[in-house]
Chain A
């Protein structure tokens, strides 16, 4: 009985409980810290399992002692309410803190302290326990530009700088030009982008040497494929979403057939067919570039998903919106463009972002047709006989790249959601 009472805080001398409790929690955390960072263990005299669980026991006892409702101290109340409202949650909280403490030193050691980035050969990393960032450094250009000839890398850089600056036109448009922004982004910009990529990266005119798409690769190819995938699958998806809700049976059935077909086949087979089967059906002397075929395949495939996401938004709109638009004399297209789609698209921003992120992360699949974007280049590099054994570094590098891209897109979609939010 007495023992339990010691752990139960009371209001009169809560201060004492608070001091002892937080000291215990601190000791528990400090113990794990010592074990993890300095490999020190002060309680080896305790038998096996108790030794192992000692910090947890300390911490739990400490948290138990400070668990008092409405203690009057804001920070203590916050802790009690959010992470310490019962023993189970207290144990979870402590476990998470401990796990983090235990995980930091090894990963820190591997990634930074013992890591190696000097030199240009594998020998620089020999004998070191940590990561070999030298590998990433040496292969960096390959990861960014693929097999694109080194002396022409500036062409890719310039192309991307132009593309990005053209994308920011919207921020500077004022007054009258604002009305044309939709047109610019929906039609003009994709055309400009295609021309820039065609003339600058592909080359073949203006004295620029032709570089065939087989040599393209790395992160720049990821961007090119994702970019064209995104801008073309969106309008196409929109058309099929409207088509599936059309009152004309012919259009409806074609849309349903299209969507269900493309949703039913795996992307990898679509890519494979676009590259291997499709040319067989073409007349002998026509040639469609492999990259174009692959992008087309991705666009057709993703459009089906986008269509279903948009259809979800269309169906969420009340019928009254259609009635009101019709009663004002708007025809089908005016109604869709000015009344229905703006509201539906706003509703499905999270879903669209979802689909787009998936698209970006699906781009590595183009390796099946022999195109190597950043992950594809990693595969190549890791099987290079001179650089065997550094796959982990490569994958971590790629994860960081993809995470950064996707996180940026996710943030942007949240920004759009806020921007177009109007109360219903």
Chain B
């Protein structure tokens, strides 16, 4: 299997504070990786570096054969192939759900409007909110908004999906509907990197689990091994607290 994302010796600082320390990570196509760790450990920054919402200062990141650096032209093209779902949903509040989903396909990918709308409706149907298409984000529940955000990302037909704590801002009873949609997506063979504290989801879906602390990857292992037989002390401590 060839690696679709390759991070080598990636370092990043916010001012004097080092958020990422020598990150090495390879993600193969169709692989599902869950990133976990205490807050402030750099998980979000790590995946935000993959679509260059954050810039790394040292090391190399290669996404689908394109290296990300200051010289990268057409960063938009790479971003269009990497979908992202945010903790705060970040739907566009001035547009209806359907328009949220079709905006980028129409203006970035130049899909004809009719076709974009049909495709968007199919995606919304997949996450089971097709009936909400005409509403505005403010009229939807948190869980519905997050599923709409997922559909919006999928409308760009991305090769990779990044999830930045997609369920952390949700009420408990809404977490399941979002996770179900994500499991569904995983079964269709999407390459996924998920930052989450939902260990149940990790056990069900992930091929590998990455544990981060203080900007470093402390442990990276196959899912079963990670939960049954963690090697690092910090991982053990974290798991004992979270499970």
Contacts and interface: CB of A to CB of B under 8 A. Distances in A.
Contact of A327 (B79, B103, B109, B137): B79
A343 interface: yes
B53 A326 contact: yes
A328 B86 contact: no
Given A338-B103, A343-B94, A422-B136, A328 B80 contact: yes
B136 A423 contact: yes
Interface stretch (A35-43, A105-113, A317-325): A317-325
A351 B138 CA distance: 24
B58 to A, nearest CB: 21
Contacts of B103: 328, 338-339
Nearest to A323: B53
Interface in A331-366: 331, 334, 338-339, 342-343, 346
B184 interface: no
Interface of B: 51, 53, 76-77, 79-84, 86, 88, 90-94, 103-104, 107-109, 136-139, 149, 152-153, 156
A329 B94 contact: no
A330 interface: yes
A386 interface: no
A334 B93 CA distance: 17
Contact of A330 (B53, B76, B84, B91): B76
A236 to B, nearest CB: 24
A424 interface: yes
Interface in A47-95: none
A323 B86 CA distance: 9
A42 B148 CA distance: 76
Interface in A188-205: none
A334 B108 contact: yes
Contacts of B51: 326-327
14 contacts: A321-B92, A323-B53, A324-B86, A327-B51, A328-B103, A328-B156, A330-B76, A330-B107, A334-B107, A339-B92, A343-B93, A346-B94, A422-B94, A423-B136
Given A323-B53, A423-B136, A328 B90 contact: no
A329 B93 contact: no
Contacts of B88: 318, 320
Given A334-B108, A342-B94, A329 B53 contact: no
A310 to B, nearest CB: 16
A342 B156 CA distance: 22
B90 A423 contact: no
A331 B74 CA distance: 9
A330 B153 CA distance: 12
A339 B100 CA distance: 10
Contact of A321 (B76, B90, B139): B90
A421 to B, nearest CB: 10
B136 A330 contact: no
B152 A328 contact: yes
Give the 6 A-B residue pairs with the shortest CB-CB distance, closest first.
A329-B80, A423-B138, A324-B90, A328-B104, A320-B90, A327-B84
Contacts of A334: 107-108
Given A327-B79, A343-B92, A423-B93, 17 more contacts: A318-B88, A320-B86, A320-B90, A323-B84, A324-B149, A326-B79, A327-B53, A327-B83, A327-B86, A328-B152, A329-B76, A329-B108, A330-B104, A330-B107, A330-B108, A343-B93, A424-B138
Interface string A377-406: 000000000000000000000000000000
Contacts of A339: 92, 103
A328 B108 contact: yes
A176 to B, nearest CB: 11
Contacts of B82: 327
Nearest to B91: A324
Contacts of B81: 329
A199 to B, nearest CB: 38
B54 to A, nearest CB: 10
Given A339-B92, A342-B94, A331 B53 contact: no
B40 to A, nearest CB: 18
Contacts of A323: 53, 84, 86, 90
Contacts of A331: 76
B108 A424 contact: no
Contacts of A342: 94
B162 to A, nearest CB: 8
Interface in A136-193: none
Contacts of B83: 327
Contacts of A338: 103, 107
Nearest to B149: A324
Contacts of B139: 423
Nearest to A331: B76
A51 B113 CA distance: 79
A343 B136 CA distance: 14
Contacts of A318: 88, 90
Contacts of B149: 324
